[in-house]
A and B are shown apart, each in its own frame.
Chain A
C-alpha cells in the first residue's frame, strides 16, 4: 500500500473516532460522579451513635460509621467481601474512621441468628472480626444449610477459637442479649433493610462503595494536614 495519500482517509477516520470518544467521555464527566451523595451533607449532630455493637478503629477517629447488617443478607455479604477490605485498610487502619458493626438479624432469614450468635461467641474470645469475615465469605455454605451450626463450628476451628468455650456459648445463647440490643437500637432508628449505614449519625441512602465512603470521609475530615497514621486498628 502506498504511503501518504492512501492513508489519509484512514487517519481522518481515526481522528473522528478519537474526537467522538473524547466527547462521550467528557459528557459522562458531567454527571454527579461517585463523589459525595448529597444526602449526607452537611453533617448534622450525631444521632445514631450508641454504646453497643462491635467497634473497630481508633476512639479518636473523626468519623464513625455504624453498619446495621444481617449475616444472611446477600447485599451485606457483597459489601463485606468487596468493599470492606479496602475500607478497613485505608480508612479504619489509618485512624480516619471508627467502624461500629451493629447486629441486625432480619426475621426472614432463618439461619442468620446462629451466624450472629457465632460472631458474638467469637467476640468473647477476641475474634469477632475473624468470624465476621469467615461468615460473610462463606455465606453460600451455611445460608441455606439445614444445619448451619456445623459450618459455623468449622469456622470456629479455622480461626482458632477454643472449641469448648464456643460450643458452650452457642448452646446457652449468652451472646443473644447483645444482638437483640443492637437490633432494637436499629428498630428505634427506623432501620428496615440491610445493610444500612450511618456516618456520624446521618443515614446514607445507599450502600456506599469504598470510593464513595472515602469521598464522604474526605468531606468531613480532609486529609490536610495528613492524619497521623496508626500502626493498626484496635480490634475489640
Chain B
C-alpha cells in the first residue's frame, strides 16, 4: 500500500499547487512566489496558460483531485487487496505525464521561459506515475 500512500501525498501537493496557480491565473492572488526572473508570470500569462476557456492549472487541479480520490479509495480497508485502484492511478497519472511533456515542450520551445512551479508539477505527476507502475510490478 506504500505506493498508494505516496500517490495520495504527492497528489495532495499537486492539488494545492494547481489551486494556487489557478487562483493566480484568475487574478485572485498577488504576484507568483516563483523567483525573480519573471518566467513564471511569463508562462502563466501566456496564451497557452488557458485551454477551452479555463486555466490549464485548473485541469491539473482536477487531475490531481481524481488521483487523490483514487489513492484514498485504494487505501480503504475494503480495497487494499484490489489492484484496480493502482491501475487507475497509472492510467490517470500517465495521461498527466503526457500532458506535462506537452506543456514543458511549449515552455522550452515556444514560450522560451520555464515556470518552476510547472516543473514541480511535472515532477510530482511523474513520481505518481512511477509509484503506480512500481505498485503494479511489485503488487505492493
Given A17-B9, A85-B47, verify A33-B29 contact (CB < 8 Å): yes
Which of A33, A83, A85, A86 has the most chain B CB within a 10 Å cutoff?
A33
Pairwise interchain contact B13-A35, C-beta atoms closer than 8 A = no
Whether A31 is near chain B, meaning CB under 8 Å from some CB there, is: yes
Bound: A32/B27 CA distance, A: 9
Q: Does B84 contact A (CB under 8 A)?
A: no
Kindly supply a per-residue 1/0 record for chain A positions 17-42, scoring 1 wherever the CB is within 8 Å of any chain B CB and 0 otherwise: 11001101100111111110000000
Which of the candidate stretches A110-118, A149-157, A208-216 sits at the interface with the other chain? A208-216
B77 in complex: contacting residue of A3, A14, A28, A29, CB < 8 Å: A3
Q: How many residues of A contact B (CB 8 A)?
A: 30
A3 touches B30 (CB 8 A): no
Is there a chain A Cβ closer than 8 Å to B8's Cβ? yes
Q: How would residues 38 to 76 of chain A score, 1 for a CB under 8 Å from any chain B CB and 0 otherwise?
A: 000000000000000000000000000000000000000
Contact in complex: A14, B30 (CB < 8 Å)? no
Per-residue CB proximity of B62-89 to A under 8 Å, as 1/0? Answer: 0000000000000111001000000000
Query: Quick check: is B91 within 8 A (CB to CB) of the other chain?
Result: no
A191 → chain B closest CB, angstroms: 22
Contact call B29/A31, Cβ cutoff below 8 A: yes
Tell whether B136 is near chain A: CB-to-CB under 8 Å. no
A17 touches B13 (CB 8 A): yes
| Closest 10 pairs (CB-CB, A-B) | A31-B30, A21-B16, A3-B77, A209-B45, A28-B29, A34-B27, A1-B1, A82-B46, A25-B20, A29-B29
Known: A3-B76, A28-B30, A209-B45. 11 other contacts (CB 8 A): A1-B1, A13-B9, A17-B9, A22-B16, A29-B23, A29-B29, A34-B27, A34-B30, A82-B47, A85-B47, A211-B27
In the complex, 13 of the A-B residue pairs with CB atoms within 8 angstroms, ordered by the A residue number, are A7-B5, A14-B12, A17-B16, A21-B12, A24-B20, A25-B29, A32-B30, A34-B27, A34-B31, A82-B111, A209-B45, A211-B27, A211-B45
